[in-house]
Amino acid sequence: MLCQVCGAPESEPHFGGYSCRACAAFFRRCVHSRKTEVNCTCKQRLASSHPCRHCRMLKCLATGMIKCKVQASRERNKTKALCMPAVSNISLLSCNIIPRECSNMSHTAANWGEVDVKRKVLYGNDVFQMNFTQFSNVARDDTLLLWDLASKIFPDVKLLSGTDKHSILCNFFPRWMMLDSALGICSNYEESSKYILSKDYTDMLLHFYGSSMPMDKRLKDEEILRIWKPYWDFHYYETAVPIHFKKMDKVEYMAIFLLLLFDDAYSNISEEGAELCRALRKVIKKELKGYQTDHNCYEKRFIDVMDVLLILEKAEEKIQEEVLIAGFNNINLNEDFKSIFHIRKL
């Protein structure tokens, strides 16, 4: 088997991935390095040269190498060991992952409360009292709050370029919006089942769209309901209800959030960015499987939870249509919000 990093022969398992001994040694040196920032220098190197340290490290991570599997460097004497850290702070990707303990997922769940408080300040206590214009005004700030949380859990995302970060957030937000609203709608399933059939539901739709239009161009109530109620009915019956019956707990919900964010298949992301996303997704999936194993979940639980990603992918097509139609009907939307959906169609 060839080395999955440099292509050399005689590849072997090292630190969770497959590589030659030279690349394994390189990976170990990087983990123990005290250099906190490593930038790509491929453009300054000869075409015949090996990839730079930054790109070679990304390839190592993409093969499945995990930093916590590298033993801490041994110090020559106890005095030195007390004065200097045993493990480098170059990156905390996969740091302290003990098999089947989902430390990153638990850390995300533990920090979610702080993020949730900030999000409530943005949206208010009841997001369904907002109209479409108000909702679009907070979209960018919301995505940045979520990005800050993810970068706290996985500091390696700071290696991504500004362009990759922007593209990831633009791809992520439509699906996240569907997941977040689905969980909000079905937080009380019995109540939401009654609400979807009530006059309060149609009044909310009329306010959400109608008050976002200029008074002189506002559509009639029946026209607003004719256009947009089918979309909301779809989001409820085809997205919110199926996700509700998955009965995900908080750790599984955090896993879906991070898997949505770090999708290597998103458009307009560089190959280096996609490789880093693939490495992160491997860590997240591994922790999710371990968590479910420790909690004696049934055999297909992992597949059922991952199915949420497919549900949200289908829902994204509908939200794309909904936003496009909103633009055609004079609904005032924030420019950042519109750019998110514009970029998705490049």
DSSP codes, 151-204: HHH-GGGGGS-HHHHHHHHHHHHHHHHHHHHHHHHTTSHHHHHHHTTSHHHHHH
Superfamily of 103-341 according to CATH: Retinoid X Receptor (1.10.565.10)
> How do 12-14 and 17-19 pair as beta strands?
antiparallel
Kindly give the residue spans of alpha helices, DSSP state H, lying in the chain: 21-32, 53-62, 78-83, 103-123, 132-137, 139-153, 162-185, 189-195, 199-205, 221-234, 241-244, 250-261, 271-294, 301-328, 335-343
- Six token digits for residue 66: 């995990």
3-state secondary structure of 226: helix
Closest to 271 (Cα-Cα) out of 161, 171, 148 = 161
Query: Backbone dihedral region of 96: left (phi > 0), alpha (psi from -120 to 50 degrees) or beta?
Result: left
Give 158: exposed, middle or buried? Use CB within 10 Å, 0-12, 13-18, 19+.
Answer: exposed
The pLDDT, as a whole number, for residue 86 is 34
The pLDDT, as a whole number, for residue 91 is 38
| Reduced 3-state DSSP string for 98-112 | CCCCCHHHHHHHHHH
Would you list the domain boundaries of the chain? 12-69, 103-341
The pLDDT, as a whole number, for residue 16 is 76
Contact 97, 162 (CB under 8 A): no
The pLDDT, as a whole number, for residue 345 is 37
3-state secondary structure of 254: helix
In tens digits, the chain (346 residues) has pLDDT values of 778 888 888 788 888 777 888 888 888 888 887 665 567 777 776 666 667 888 888 888 878 787 777 776 554 444 333 333 333 333 333 333 334 456 787 888 888 888 888 888 888 766 668 899 998 998 889 999 999 999 988 988 888 898 999 889 888 988 988 888 877 776 778 888 888 899 999 999 999 999 999 999 999 999 999 999 999 999 999 999 999 888 888 889 999 999 999 988 887 888 989 999 999 999 999 999 988 888 888 889 999 999 999 999 888 888 888 988 998 898 999 888 888 776 343 3
Torsion of CA 210, 213, 215, 219, to 10 degrees: -60
Q: Which CATH number fits domain 12-69: 3.30.50.10, 3.40.50.1820, 2.40.50.100, 3.90.45.10?
A: 3.30.50.10
